[in-house]
Amino acid sequence: MTLAMPRWAEWNSPRNATQQRLFFFELACLAKIEPTTVAAMKTSTKIFMVAGALLFSVVLGIVAGTPEQEKAFTDKYKAAMEGKDTATLEAFLYTQGSDPAALEFYKMMQSGGAGEKISTIELVSLTPEDVKKATTPMDGPTGKVCLNLKPTKKLVIKVEKKDASGSSSSSSENFVAEKDGKFVIPVPGPCK
Strand order from edge to edge, sheet including 138-140: 138-140, 143-146, 189-190
- Domain 67-190 fold is Nuclear Transport Factor 2; Chain: A, (3.10.450)
Q: What is the pLDDT of residue 94?
A: 95
pLDDT tens per residue across span 128-157:
999 999 999 998 878 889 998 999 999 999
- CA 65 to chain centroid: 16
Number of other CB atoms surrounding residue 70 within 10 Å: 18
pLDDT tens per residue across span 37-67:
555 556 666 665 655 555 555 444 444 568 8
Alpha-carbon span 54 to 75, nearest angstrom: 32
